[in-house]
Structure 1
Amino acid sequence: MMDMARHILIVDDDALMRRSVSLHLEQNGYRAGTAATAEDALALARRDRPDLILLDIGLPGMDGLQAIRHFQRDMDDVPVIFVTARRRELDTILGLEMGADDYITKPFNLDILLAHVKAILRRAERGATGQPPPDALIVGDLHIDPAAHEVTIDGRPIALTAKEFAVLHTLALDAGKVVSTEDILSRVWGAEFMGEPQVVYVNIRWLREKIETDPNQPRRIINVRGVGYKLIPNTPPG
């Protein structure tokens, strides 16, 4: 039924992109809204709350990085997928605490985009089920509390993005064991993202910036070349 269709808001200044993406989403059972600017998108979202936002970074006027702050203020539980045409922006998207749930780079295959959309919506649905969170995990002086979504090192709070937290939690569940890059991808981003290991590499790098004493010589998150990563107990002196 149309009134039950999930609402996707597409924000892109490329008219052809808006038309092709909205048509593909509608053909697959979604309800698509479009806007050419962030300002128009914000006005539309306030009138008709979306279930997910596809947000281009390179918008005229207010860009996507600025717009996501407004979306977070007005509707902080609506997932956002950043869209970018410039690979050099990926570190900004993945590393800074922008609050986006995912990203995709132009040009992209419409079926790949659809897989991203489905994965994020499934994750959002799982988060709304009200299932009880798992117990807190302790790895050396590192304390991970999924219920509060908090991480501390020796009692000191560490601010992590949602994806950084998910990667760290995945490693902590198998602390002391090697977790393959593919397994991290599957457990954090979903099987649809297999073949995109760069998202793991970037999030590991930014995690190390936040939890390692010396990110260039990591002692907590260890790379096992050709296999994956291992989280080990670590209690730095002092």
Structure 2
Amino acid sequence: MADEAARLLIVDDDPELLRFLVDELSEAGFRCSGCDNGQDALLRLRQEQFQLVLLDWTLPDFSGIEVCRRLRNSGNTTPVLMLTARDDIDERVNALDAGVDDYLTKPFNLKELHARVRARLRSGSYQRSDDPSSEQLSLGDLQIQLLERKVLRGEQEISLSQREFDLLCHFVRNADAVQSRQSILEAVWGSPFVGDPNTLDVYLGYLRKKLEKSGQPQLLHTIRGAGFMARVGAPKP
């Protein structure tokens, strides 16, 4: 059963498909709202809080890519799942570069749609619980406050981008487990991963620079020949 508190915004200019998606995902337990153009979508996202946006590529005013780009430029980090009939590899790359978190090609299987929605909600760190301990993650002196999207190393607050935050949460949730490059890319960037696998190294570099200062225990480790791991290690020189 889906988390009943999860709010979804569904944006599609096909009235029948929009109504179908709202009904289908509402029956699955999500709280769904719909709109049929990019301007209304951006207005709703400025005024209300959603945990996920299902966004059509082709809209009457401007493209879903432009909606996502404007959303990210405004500092909004709400996860976006793009729904589109387009299946060209270059277009997928453009969507991901604009800030889209995942991509599902029409016509899609309903089971896969539900799975993608659940996966995006997990990777976006959204969950509802009456237990305050479930609203944060920790590793050594690192604290991640999920609902506030705040990261602390000791007493120092660390500013992270949306992707850096998602990557760090994934590592900490799977602390002490060696993970392959591909599994991390698919978990954080979406499956199937489209893009340069070295993207992971770039973002790991960003995280290490922000999180691991001289004298602090190293948290993010490269395991030669196997992958990567989060664990409390020896202090950095």
Q: Do the structures match in fold with TM over 0.5?
A: yes
Counterpart code for 1:81: V
Given that residues 58 and 64 in structure 1 are in contact (C-alpha distance below 8 angstroms), is that contact kept between their aligned partners in structure 2? no
Find the aligned partners of 1:92 and 1:157 in 2 and give their Cα distance.
29
- Residue 110 (structure 1) aligns with: 110
Find the aligned partners of 1:109 and 1:115 in 2 and give their Cα distance.
10
Match of 2:204 among 208, 212, 219: 208
- Residue 217 (structure 2) aligns with: none
1:38, CA displacement in angstroms? Answer: 1.6
Find the aligned partners of 1:151 and 1:93 in 2 and give their Cα distance.
33
Given that residues 92 and 103 in structure 2 are in contact (C-alpha distance below 8 angstroms), is that contact kept between their aligned partners in structure 1? no
Deviations 1:15-58 (A, max 9, x none): 55434423432443445432221212244567876554213355
Give the TM-score of the pair, scaled to structure 1: 0.56
Find the aligned partners of 1:168 and 1:112 in 2 and give their Cα distance.
25
User: Residue 229 and residue 198 in structure 1: after superposition, are their counterparts in 2 closer, same or farther (change >3 A)?
Assistant: farther
Alpha carbon RMSD of aligned pairs, Å?
Answer: 4.8
Does residue 80 (structure 1) correspond to residue 75 (structure 2)? The answer is no
SS of match in other structure, 2:102: strand
User: Residue 9 and residue 182 in structure 1: after superposition, are their counterparts in 2 closer, same or farther (change >3 A)?
Assistant: same
Give the TM-score of the pair, scaled to structure 2: 0.56
- Residue 169 (structure 1) aligns with: 172
Find the aligned partners of 1:197 and 1:151 in 2 and give their Cα distance.
33
> What is the identity percentage for the equivalent residue pairs of Structure 1 and Structure 2?
21
Counterpart code for 2:79: V
What does 1:32-71 correspond to in 2, within 5 Å? 32-44=32-44, 50=50, 52-56=52-56, 59=59, 60-61=61-62, 63-69=66-72
Given that residues 87 and 105 in structure 1 are in contact (C-alpha distance below 8 angstroms), is that contact kept between their aligned partners in structure 2? no
Given that residues 22 and 34 in structure 2 are in contact (C-alpha distance below 8 angstroms), is that contact kept between their aligned partners in structure 1? yes
User: Residue 203 and residue 27 in structure 1: after superposition, are their counterparts in 2 closer, same or farther (change >3 A)?
Assistant: farther
- Residue 198 (structure 1) aligns with: 193
Unaligned 5+ segments in structure 2 are 210-219
Find the aligned partners of 2:36 and 2:183 in 1 and give their Cα distance.
37
Find the aligned partners of 1:137 and 1:118 in 2 and give their Cα distance.
29
1:207, CA displacement in angstroms? Answer: 1.5
